[in-house]
Amino acid sequence: MLLRVLLGLALGGLGLAKPLYLPLDDRPPNLAPCAWGLVLCPPREAYRGPEGVDLAALRAWLLATPGEGVVTSLDALAYGGLLQSRHLPLPPEDALARLGPLLSWRVRHGGGLFLFGVVPRWDASFRERNLRVLKALASWAGLGGIYLEAVWDDALRGSPAPQEARSLPYPSRPGADEAGQLLLLRALRPGLRVAVVYEEEALRARTTPYEGLPLGETVAGVLASAQAVAVPLKARPDLVLYAYGGKDPRGAALDLLHLMARYPVALADLSRVNRGDPRLMAYLQGLGLYPRLAAYAAWGTPANNLGSALAQGGLFLKDERGRTERLAEAYFQYWWGEVGRPWVRAHFPEPLPEEAREVVRLWPYVALGDLRLDLLALRFPWGRSFEAEPLLRLAPRALGPELAP
């Protein structure tokens, strides 16, 4: 802990300070930015899987660490994480008190705050408590240097979450696990000019799973979270966000081929929840398009995938190595949803035993341009098959696995 604090102070003194990033929890989509080289993160041991955050350690690290700003989940600081926010018995006054260090950090270090809170899903035990906390934070939204938004989590048909979120006097939208990535884009590259292209125009009006509103509204909310600017293709956008709905993979591949000749393209595969479309991936690999993408996401709900693709495409627009590494991570998530997770679920009960790691033997040969993507190992940070944390390696394609560095 002391080493991390001293490092933050040294970076600040050299003018190299980065934003602080406090993830919602340590599931891969939330924790991933900590390995991207763009932010300062709390020590990994402060996040303890399904047990939740070590709140004392997290607060101590926050107050001691300067930076350009703070991007944080409110639920991590108030309750200990997403699971805890649903079921932890805690008075709203105590939850609000736990958020006080954010204002103290701002007074002490002077950076901006980029905050998101989660309107919980239908089965949460303390929905009313959480909503009272979010409403009480309305006064924060009026303070200079603070951006605050609410995201709603897994809204099945009839869920009260969309209506509850709209009752708040600050921005709200569907999503959750991509929110930290989007606010990093807002903090580091506001004003990104984005053209949104739908596989078919009818997709814009489709009410997508877990969100409770037309896709076009979800897209608008994602852009607003990132403080991105929607522009038409003729305006030469910085990035194209392509929304694929699963109707015609061949047609989508042709769309991408034409778009990628002129623009960086981030692809959000919305064809299924928590899984990509293998038909589209076959075209992407066969035509050599996948390594040329600015970003790809197929790991979650539509809002998850749109937000993740937009954030990674924007953050690594001018970083070739970073872009390739993000594509490597995204391909693993695609493979996990399509191959790894089904295999593990078919062979092992949860909590998963060590033998479940044998799934790495199913990893195919994956080429990313001149590089080969190897899956060396993986772990299950929450002991379940829904998420897996891989150890990946990019190596020259000319080298065999036994010769790769």
**Which H, E and C letters describe 347-366, residue by residue?**
HCCCCCCHHHHHHHHHCCCE
194-to-54, 229, 235, 310 alpha-carbon distances in Å: 38, 6, 10, 9
Residues 252 and 263 in one domain: yes
Which residues span the domain enclosing 161? 1-188
pLDDT value of position 142: 82
Question: Is 326 among the domain residues?
Answer: no
> For the domain that residue 281 is a member of, what is the CATH number?
3.40.50.2300
Residues 204 and 75 in one domain: no
Closest CA to 196 of 158, 239, 225, 163: 239
Neighbours of 12 (CB within 10 A): 18
Residues 152 and 65 in one domain: yes
Residues 150 and 24 in one domain: yes
Give how many domains the chain has, as a whole number: 3
Q: DSSP 3-state assignment of 275?
A: coil
Question: Is 40 among the domain residues?
Answer: yes
Question: Is 341 among the domain residues?
Answer: yes
Residues 309 and 243 in one domain: yes
Residues 232 and 375 in one domain: no
37 backbone φψ class: left, alpha, beta (φ>0; ψ -120 to 50) = left
Closest CA to 40 of 23, 60, 26, 15: 23
**Who contacts 192 (Cβ-Cβ below 8 Å, separation ≥6)?**
185, 226, 227, 228, 229, 238, 239, 314
**Who contacts 80 (Cβ-Cβ below 8 Å, separation ≥6)?**
52, 53, 55, 88
DSSP classification of residue 378: E
Residues 11 and 148 in one domain: yes
388-to-66, 211, 358, 381 alpha-carbon distances in Å: 32, 25, 13, 7
Q: Give pLDDT < 70 ranges for the chain.
A: 1-16, 399-405
CA dihedral 176, 233, 192, 223 (to 10 degrees): -20
Residues 32 and 178 in one domain: yes
Question: Is 401 among the domain residues?
Answer: no
Residues 292 and 377 in one domain: no
Question: Is 114 among the domain residues?
Answer: yes
CA dihedral 285, 291, 295, 297 (to 10 degrees): 30
Residues 47 and 71 in one domain: yes
The span from the CA of 262 to the CA of 35, in Å, is 30
Structure tokens at 398: 């000319």
Structure tokens at 404: 């790769």
Which of 188, 212, 240 is at the close of a domain? 188
Question: Is 311 among the domain residues?
Answer: yes
Question: Is 144 among the domain residues?
Answer: yes
Which of 168, 188, 208 is at the close of a domain? 188
> For the domain that residue 157 is a member of, what is the CATH number?
3.40.50
Helices of type H across 179-272: 179-188, 215-226, 249-260
Question: Is 323 among the domain residues?
Answer: no
Residues 84 and 29 in one domain: yes
Helices of type H across 92-198: 92-98, 100-109, 127-136, 138-141, 161-166, 179-188
Q: Cis before residue 29, ω within 30 degrees of 0?
A: no
Residues 145 and 227 in one domain: no
Overall pTM surpassing 0.85 (yes/no): yes
Which of 153, 188, 223 is at the close of a domain? 188
pLDDT value of position 6: 43
Identify each DSSP E strand in 286-350 by its residue range: 295-297
Residue type, 198: Y
